[in-house]
């Protein structure tokens, strides 16, 4: 086993929702951490909160990963062992309206990172992929062998292309890459000092639920109750963001300990549990003792009926497994909402 405290991890998008939780876990585990974020979808105060939780300070560069010259300077200053590349735009709806913006930000940032990893003898890269690459899987739970279907959005397309580019570039063999396909990340840190900061009216279920319970929004609309599921509402695999953060540490360890079986690996990161929208509502009310006003509405175009993960490959090879349950996800999201 290598001594992790001697290792340096550069985290792009490290002040974002998943990035900030991962930076905390890396610092607590003893890694040296360099954060690069252009604050396009995050706030500077998250940096201070990370330090407060971890009691350690990462190095911070406010730079755009698409700026190759700025990024080259950072790699010249520091010997980086692993890069975790979170930086990307992530709104599916916005990507349908502004596809070019998504291809530019998500692909140019990735191409720059791949070039710098290759040129600077970095051991490996961990890439943020998404369950969105599966679209609506024919067979559930989705395994890593489940085929991609043609992406319905530029966002989904950048994740599929991202994985394909990584596979091609790593095949020359100078560094390793691990793509993590996240299912539905929710929840916040137990200190309620960091969490998701959705801009405007949220599209995702959890922030919509907490903002409705808080009285910021009038009512939640359940998008369809005529699906072929236990109660007619859609099924998803919600995963606590702290469990997800820990999956990144497991991926870093695998790269550093030279345990990768191939140059480019992919792993599903979910809990394996499918939960319906109505089950979330009931569990939210039971956990928080708050009444959640909701109505049943029409299906949302593009929604898959049911998506949940087979994460047994991650359990076997990354030695990682989700440990936090739905109650933990709800409690921590609610505690975070109450600080906003
Ligand atoms: P986020 O928007 O909270 O974090 C992304 C961070 O990257 C932000 O802090 C933003 O300011 C920064 N950023 C974006 N473009 C940049 C650039 N060019 N240069 C520097 N910084 C840049 O998003 P998140 O939820 O933490 O997601 C992180 C990653 O995980 C993304 O790649 C996203 O596509 C992927 N992902 C997210 C989800 C989810 O539900 N949150 C699901 C699957 C995959
Ligand atoms: C969406 C994205 C996915 C992204 C994920 C991030 C689409 C098609 N997919 O997934 O690419 O990785 O967010 O977390 O946009 N729901 C309601 N009412 C609401 C909001 C949501 O009923 O107000 C339902 C949805 O129909 C869905 C479930 O809640 O069944 C979860 O929705 P959401 O949080 O938006 O995530 P996904 O659609 O699964």
Active site annotation includes 134: no
- 3-class state of residue 206 by DSSP: helix
**What is the pLDDT, as a whole number, of residue 156?**
95
Nearest ligand 2 atom to the CA of 155 is 11
Which pLDDT does position 66 carry in this prediction?
A: 98
Q: Whose CA is nearest to atom 5 of ligand 2?
A: 184
Higher per-residue confidence, 219 vs 172? 219
Cβ neighbours for 236, distance < 8 A, ≥ 6 positions apart: 183, 184, 205, 274, 275, 306, 307, 308
Atom of ligand 2 lying closest to residue 152 CA: 8
Is it the case that residue 4 has pLDDT exceeding 70?
no
Q: Cα(93) to centroid of ligand 2, in Å?
A: 11
- DSSP label at 19? H
pLDDT at 172: 84
Per-residue confidence at 218, pLDDT binned at 50, 70, 90? Answer: very high
Q: How do 8-12 and 32-36 pair as beta strands?
A: parallel
% the chain with pLDDT above 70:
99
Q: What mean pLDDT value characterizes the chain?
A: 96
Predicted confidence at residue 135, as pLDDT, reads 87
Write the DSSP assignment of 33-67 as a string of letters.
EEEE---SSS-THHHHHHHHHHSS--EEE---TT-
pLDDT in tens, 58-82: 999 999 999 999 999 999 999 999 9
Query: Using the 8-state DSSP alphabet, how is residue 306 labeled?
Result: B
How many angstroms from the chain centroid is the CA of residue 102? 17
Q: Where are the domains of the chain?
A: 7-188+239-272+309-324
**Residue located nearest, by CA, to atom 30 of ligand 2:** 234
Cα–ligand 1 centroid distance for 10 (angstroms): 15
> Cα-flanking dihedrals φ and ψ of residue 239, to 5°?
-125, 135
Ligand 2 pocket by Cβ (under 6 Å)? 92, 130, 132, 184, 203-205, 208, 220-223, 234, 236, 277, 300, 302-303
Closest C-alpha residue for ligand 1 atom 43 = 130
pLDDT > 90: what percent of the chain?
92
- Please pick, among 17, 61, 155, 294, the residue that the annotation labels catalytic: 155
Residue 5, pLDDT score: 61
Given a contact cutoff of 8 angstroms between Cβ atoms, the answer to whether 92 and 156 are in contact is yes
Q: Among 2, 62, 59, 60, which residue's Cα sits nearest to residue 29?
A: 2
Confidence of residue 51 (pLDDT cuts 50, 70, 90): very high
* pLDDT, average across residues 110-131: 97
Residue from 12, 14, 15, 17 whose mutation best tests the ligand 1 pocket (most atoms within 8 A of CB): 17
Lowest mean pLDDT of 161-170, 171-180, 188-197, 315-324, name the range: 171-180
| Residue 159 pLDDT | 97
Tell me the fold of 7-188+239-272+309-324. Rossmann fold (3.40.50)
- Count CB neighbours of 49 within 10 A: 19
């Amino acid at each position: 086993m290598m001594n992790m405290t001697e290792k340096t991890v550069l985290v792009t998008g490290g002040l974002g929702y998943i990035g900030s939780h991962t930076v905390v876990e890396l610092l607590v585990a003893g890694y040296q951490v360099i954060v690069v974020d252009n604050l396009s979808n995050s706030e500077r105060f998250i940096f201070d909160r990370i330090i407060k939780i971890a009691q350690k300070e990462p190095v911070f560069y406010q730079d755009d990963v698409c700026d190759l010259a700025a990024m080259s300077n950072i790699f010249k200053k520091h010997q980086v062992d692993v890069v975790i590349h979170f930086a990307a735009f992530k709104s599916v709806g916005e990507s349908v309206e502004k596809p070019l913006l998504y291809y530019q930000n998500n692909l140019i940032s990735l191409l720059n990172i791949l070039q710098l990893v290759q040129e600077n003898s970095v051991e490996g890269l961990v890439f943020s992929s998404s369950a969105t690459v599966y679209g609506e899987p024919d067979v559930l739970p989705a395994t890593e062998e489940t085929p991609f279907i043609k992406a319905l959005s530029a966002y989904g397309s950048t994740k599929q292309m991202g994985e394909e580019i990584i596979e091609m570039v790593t095949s020359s063999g100078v560094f390793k890459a691990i793509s993590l396909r996240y299912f539905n990340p929710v929840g916040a840190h137990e200190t309620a000092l960091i969490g998701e900061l959705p801009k405007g009216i949220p599209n995702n279920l959890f922030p919509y639920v907490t903002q409705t319970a808080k009285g910021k929004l009038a009512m939640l609309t359940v998008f369809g109750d005529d699906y072929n599921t236990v109660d007619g509402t859609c099924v998803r695999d919600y995963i606590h963001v702290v469990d997800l953060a820990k999956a990144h540490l497991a991926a870093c360890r695998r790269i550093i300990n030279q345990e990768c079986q191939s140059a480019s690996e992919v792993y599903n990161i979910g809990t394996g549990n499918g939960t319906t929208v109505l089950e979330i509502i009931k569990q939210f009310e039971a956990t928080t003792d708050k009444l959640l006003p909701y109505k049943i509405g029409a299906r949302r175009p593009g929604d898959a009926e049911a998506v949940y993960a087979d994460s047994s490959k991650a359990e076997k090879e990354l030695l990682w497994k989700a440990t936090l349950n739905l109650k933990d996800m709800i409690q921590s999201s609610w505690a975070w909402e109450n600080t906003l």
